[in-house]
Structure 1
Amino acid sequence: MIDEETGYAAVRGRDARFDGVFFFAVATTGIYCRPSCPAVTPKQRNVRYYPTAAAAQSGGFRACRRCRPDAVPGSPEWNVRADVVGRAMRLIGDGVVDREGVAGLADRLGYSSRQVHRQLTAEVGAGPVALARAQRALAARVLLQTTALSVTDTAFAAGFASVRQFNDTIREIYARTPSELRAAARAGTATATTGRAAEPGSASGVPLRLAYRGPYDTRGVFDFLHADLVPGIEEITGPPGRRTYRRTLRLPHGPGVAEVDERRRAGWLDCRLRLADLRDLTTAVQRVRRLFDLDADPYAVADSLSGDPILGPLIAARPGLRSPGAADPDELAVRAVLADPAAAGELVTACGDPLPAPDGGLTHLFPEPARIDDPALRPLTTALAAGTLRLDPGADRDEAGRALLALPGVDAWTAGYIRLRALGDPDVALPNEPPLSDAWRPWRSYALHHLWAAGHRARPRLEMTTT
């Protein structure tokens, strides 16, 4: 947790670099905010600091209506940390607590429920139930403000067990009833993740604003994704500078389609989600955020690497360059081993589940590992299907790396690339690439992307080997 002097300096300076890193609450008003909140700076003696929005809510504070602190980018700390708390935060973000309960979360982490609760409470100020509740409240607010779903349908789509629980949570966190939140959005007074109302299942889907911190190099991310598009599950439409990335998503309750626009606004990317089941909203948002590396901290990367004589000029030329992750880690692993988007497209056509109806160039979901019957891919797909190789957000990165290297057909470059993208590891060095200095740790993944973007070496296409 940040020290009080640094925290108050950030609050006084309305420093957006700290949005999502911590939250502050004002004892005299009962409200919590993001550090960049434009409201009058409170007196220091009245300020309290919290590592998460859930912790502030558990402390009895409600969300500020001006700065919408619940809509800030996630803390970059959870991308970097590989310990049980970091893994737990990534799993909670993916909706595991809502789907499997605290016991399911603990089982995935290999700890008891009590141990997980104790460690989360000590580190982030809230247990898994409170953290999941905060996510459900945000999902509910988005649905209230961007769809025409009834209040009852919104409650269950957001993951609440009852309408009463939903109403109580919304009033506690936002100091408004669900109907009042919807009315405020329609009146144009909401300031965060909003958009025009859309009928559930309509062509426009759920419009979202995906927040990020610092500079964001959209061109670099779109160029990177464009180089490896897999036909049938991905496409990019529009001219450079105004492109839209579109892809299908395999979600817990049904298929989905995500669209993200290259043309960014101040602090967010425009996104639209079309979901077969709106209960998948939180999971879909988190998967798109990981794909576009929206919770990264470009300030920390620049502070660490800008003084280097090699990287300094590259960072100055491409501020906010990100390290794209994966919307589906198992899919990314299969694609990495194939090392050929055209071959991956053939696999999609042969084994993927068709969408109920084609959507532009999108026709299928990427096949699940158990559906792939390819001798060259079998060691990988068997391990993924059996669970002996885990690449989900809560996977242990070192353990997964060892398991990958033990598989026939997976060399060190491929295993590292899977770790880079599927596991979102910010500190990966790949063999046969420009040497990465240990002085660049823990941001060698970002250093590698800067070197790639500068043309130092194109990512190689690997010939698949079998034994």
Structure 2
Amino acid sequence: MHEDACYRAVSSKDARLDGVFYSAVRTTGIYCRPSCPARTPKRENIDFYPTAAAAQAADFRACRRCRPEAAPGSPEWNLRADLVGRAMRLIADGVVDREGVAGLAARLGYSERHLTRELHAELGAGPLALARSQRAQTARVLLQTTDLGATEVAFAAGFSSVRQFNDTIREVYAMTPTELRTRQGRRTVVQGVIPLRLAHRQPFEAAAVFDFLALRAVPGVEEVVPRSGSGPTAPRTYRRTLALPGGPAVAEVDEPSKPQGWLDARVRLGNVRDLTAAVQRLRALFDLDADPDAVAEVLGADPFLGPLVAKRPGLRSPGHVDAHELAVRAVLGQQVTVAAARTLAGRLAVRYGAPLPEPSGGLTHLFPSAASLAEADPADLAMPAARQRALRGMCAALADGTVHLDPGVDRDEAGAALLALPGIGPWTVSYVRMRALADPDAYLPTDLGVRHGLRAAGLDGEPASEAWRPWRSYAVHHLWVAATPAAPAVPAAGDRKSLTKVSE
């Protein structure tokens, strides 16, 4: 953090840096996001912090105008592969709330003391403080959008006691839970559905994301439908089931009808303790923590990609809500069309997925677990025998922990472990890294869609893809969008394990 640059961003109300750092005013005791509309403080009265938790630890409370704790997440955490980046991804998924600091440290392979020291040194707050800040945000959402009692909200948000909950809300918001609940602007909850606003940085090419998800929607698990009461060309709603730690859930996200800094979403949870995990997984699915300007700065300078980036500013690299599901779908789609892969996945969902307690529209099942598919009847797997063995072997490795794909995993180690499995080739590994592990720099050189996109961009030979680092995943999506209708998929020459098409 360069403080003079931070102050210039605050002076210009630069929304691109919301969530990247926070400004705290010593004379008022309030911290804000850079784009806060309040009058810019004098330089000598302002400090800067890399996280909301660090500002809270320094006894600053959240601004009531700009709600800094609800800013988009920093794109740095997906970009970085070091200990701090991996820890931040796990904390965002609620691991500290579910497993404590000991569980977080065990997942990362370090001692609690070393982990805490590293986070303090770089972020000004340890894992407990970072998780506490996240709990406060979850509690605010529950207080203002549900009719749960304060005690239920406290434990649902991850607090270990009502006293800790009350103290944290007072410290972060300078309000009691009751005052926060009755604050003007509270939205009404209908039949247990929690309304959300998922913040992101502009620009955001929403139509491309919804097109991407609609093409791959697994029947019974996902659907993309026109907005209620609208025609087929109107904005859409993406809906899907979620297998969360506390039970099944249903989430839906609206395609915006005009540019805005958030996506409207709703979740119906089987267990309200899962709100943090549900929000984070939806954010990962829609790549809402991305920095589109940083991507455009690198890719826009390329003579071939530049026109594509200019045509679709803010194009995202969609992630996924469940790494195991994505890995399974990657193998299901090898060497077949997107439609065929989607149909097979839907059949397996009905056969091996857990049914919802109550169907919701076209949503009826959770996607099957890796453990259930490891024991799947070969007769249910409409694919060559070699790929059946690859699928079942990978699912067994995921189920018994031989291969880990959680948000804090070392991506290189996870990729090497996948590649060592029979029938898993470089395409599949790169695709899993890009979508399941939110790697912004995964590249698929053998993919037919990428090749078609390169030709559409005017490049017949091999591109200088190293110049696209660290945003090659976004380059892949620009090339996929630019591609002409893909030819029938065939294995890449010399690598029959590679998936060489635009699908999972």
Runs of 4+ displaced beyond 4 Å: 456-466
Q: Report the CA distance between 1:343 and its aligned residue.
A: 0.8
CA change 1:75–1:462 in 2 (3 A) is farther
Match of residue 474, structure 2, among 432, 438, 446 = 446
Which residue is equivalent to 2:456?
none
Q: Which runs of 5+ in 1 are unaligned?
A: 189-194
> Where do residues 61-460 of structure 1 align in structure 2 (5 Å cutoff)?
61-184=60-183, 187-188=184-185, 196-198=187-189, 202=191, 205-238=193-226, 239-263=232-256, 266-339=260-333, 340-372=341-373, 373-374=375-376, 375-376=388-389, 377-433=391-447, 434=451, 435-436=462-463, 437-455=465-483, 458=486
Question: Within 2, Cα distance between the matches of 1:241 and 1:47?
Answer: 45
Q: CA deviation at 1:306?
A: 1.1
1:389 counterpart letter in structure 2: V
Distance 1:113 1:347 in 2: 41
Name the SS of the counterpart of 1:408 in structure 2. coil
Deviation at 1:161? 1.0
2:329 aligned partner, one-letter code: R
Q: Which amino acid aligns with 2:422?
A: P
The residue type equivalent to 1:11 in the other structure is V
Using the alignment, how far apart are the partners of 1:31 and 1:273 within structure 2? 31
Distance across 2 between alignment mates of 1:461 and 1:357: 38
**CA deviation after TM superposition for structure 1 residue 462, in Å:** 7.0
Distance in structure 1 (CA, Å) of the matches to 2:145 and 2:293: 32
Structure 1 CA distance, aligned partners of 2:269 and 2:2? 42
Question: Shift of the alpha carbon at 1:153?
Answer: 1.1
Task: Deviation per CA, 1:237-268: give whole Å up to 9, x if none.
Answer: 10344100000000000111110001255200
Which has the higher Rg, Structure 1 or Structure 2? 2
Amino acid in the other structure paired with 1:67: C
Give CA-to-partner distance per residue, 1:51-92, whole Å, 9 cap, x none. Answer: 000110011100000000000000000010011110000000
Q: Is the 8 A contact 2:426 2:497 kept in 1?
A: no
Matches of residues 43-58 of structure 1 in structure 2 within 5 Å? 43-58=42-57
CA contact (8 A) 1:85 1:120 kept: yes
Q: Deviations over 1:16-51 (max 9, x none)?
A: 011001001000100000000000100000110000
**How far is 1:197 from its partner?**
2.1
Is the 1:451–1:457 Cα contact (8 Å) retained in structure 2?
Answer: no
What letter corresponds to residue 169 of structure 1 in structure 2?
T
Q: Distance in 2 between matches of 1:447 and 1:386?
A: 34
Distance 1:278 1:461, change over 3 A: farther
Provide the identity percentage: 64
Shifted more, 209-218 versus 239-248: the winner is 239-248
Deviation, structure 1 residue 122: 0.9
Kept in 2: contact 1:241–1:263 (CA 8 A): no
* Alignment partner, residue 191 of structure 1: none
Alignment partners' CA distance in 2, 1:325 and 1:81: 16
Gaps of 5+ in 2: 227-231, 334-340, 377-387, 452-461, 499-504
Q: Distance in 2 between matches of 1:214 and 1:59?
A: 30
* 1:307 Cα deviation after fit: 1.6
Letter of the aligned partner of 1:395 in structure 2? V
Q: Secondary structure at the match of 2:241?
A: strand
Measure the CA separation in 1 of the matches of 2:407 and 2:315: 22
Corresponding residue SS for 2:23: strand
Aligned-partner SS, 2:182: helix
The alpha-carbon distance between structure 1 residues 394 and 142, as it changes in their structure 2 partners (threshold 3 A), is: same
Equivalents in 2 of 1:397, 1:462: separation in Å? 27
- AA aligned to 1:207 is P
Please tell me whether the aligned partners of residues 241 and 262 of structure 1 are also in contact (alpha carbons under 8 angstroms).
no
Distance across 1 between alignment mates of 2:438 and 2:179: 39
**Structure 1 length-normalised TM:** 0.95
Distance 1:110 1:161 in 2: 25
Which residue identity is paired with 2:483? G
CA deviation map 1:107-145 (0-9, x unaligned): 000000011101111111110000000010000000111
Post-superposition Cα deviations, 1:315-364, rounded to whole Å, max 9, x if no partner, equal 11101000000100000000000011111111111110000011111001
Mapped to 1, the partners of 2:83 and 2:136 lie a distance apart of 25
Q: Is the 8 A contact 2:19 2:51 kept in 1?
A: yes
The residue aligned with 2:337 is none
SS state at 1:309 partner: coil
The answer to whether the 8 Å contact 1:233/1:363 transfers is yes
Determine the structure 2 residue equivalent to 1:11. 10
Matched residues in 2 for 1:431 and 1:383: separation?
27
CA distance in 2, matches of 1:219, 1:83: 33
Decide which moves more: 240-249 or 332-341.
240-249
| Aligned mates of 1:358, 1:258 — CA distance in 2 | 13
- In structure 2, what is the Cα distance between the partners aligned to 1:461 and 1:223? 20
Give the deviation of 1:150 after TM superposition. Answer: 1.1
SS at match of 1:428: coil
State the 1:459 CA deviation. Answer: 9.4
Aligned partners of 2:487 and 2:60: how far apart in 1?
Answer: 48
Residue 431 of structure 1 and its aligned partner are, at CA, apart by: 3.0
Tell me the number of residue pairs that the alignment of Structure 1 and Structure 2 aligns. 454
